[in-house]
């Protein structure tokens, strides 16, 4: 597609349920990033993929959070046993830069997660 797409755009879930958020990066972009934007914390880095591997997972807030990327393309962020503090907008970005910082990251529209 022309840009980064994310699904669903909105997700409402009950506390304790698992959720999966999907990101489709720009075709050919090898780098993929997940960020979280919440009222209290601003915009925070979660995890970075280069191809299918994740060299930097330092932003994942707990072991309830995991992510994978298959075929060097689509990525899924999974949150297990959701808590109310997980409520936020989850943003995905992709970049064509390989193995070094500095490339422009193109962002998707985000998934708004609400945990009741």
- Interface residues toward another protein, by CB under 8 A: 4, 31, 33, 35, 42-45, 48, 50, 55-56, 59, 91, 93, 95, 97, 99-110
* Nearest-approach distance from CB 102 to another protein, in angstroms: 5
Q: Between residues 1 and 14, which has the closer beta carbon with respect to another protein?
A: 1
Distance CA 47, CA 69 (A): 11
Q: Between residues 8 and 16, which has the closer beta carbon with respect to another protein?
A: 8
* Nearest-approach distance from CB 81 to another protein, in angstroms: 26
Which sign does the torsion angle of CA 48, 56, 52, 23 carry?
negative
Q: Between residues 73 and 95, which has the closer beta carbon with respect to another protein?
A: 95
Q: Give 35-65 as a 3 state SS string.
A: EEEECCCEEEEEEEEECCEEEECCCCCCCCE
* Nearest-approach distance from CB 100 to another protein, in angstroms: 7
Distance CA 16, CA 83 (A): 6
Q: Between residues 50 and 80, which has the closer beta carbon with respect to another protein?
A: 50
Distance CA 49, CA 31 (A): 6
């Amino acid at each position: 597609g022309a840009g980064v797409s994310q699904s669903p755009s909105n997700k409402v879930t009950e506390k304790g349920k698992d959720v999966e958020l999907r990101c489709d990066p720009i075709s050919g972009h090898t780098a993929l990033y997940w960020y979280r934007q919440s009222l209290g914390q601003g915009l925070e880095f979660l995890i970075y993929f280069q191809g299918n591997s994740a060299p930097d997972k330092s932003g994942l807030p707990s072991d309830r959070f995991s992510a994978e990327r298959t075929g060097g393309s689509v990525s899924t962020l999974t949150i297990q046993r959701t808590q109310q503090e997980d409520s936020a907008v989850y943003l995905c970005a992709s970049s064509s830069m390989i193995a070094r910082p500095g490339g422009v990251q193109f962002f998707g529209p985000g998934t708004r997660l609400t945990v009741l």
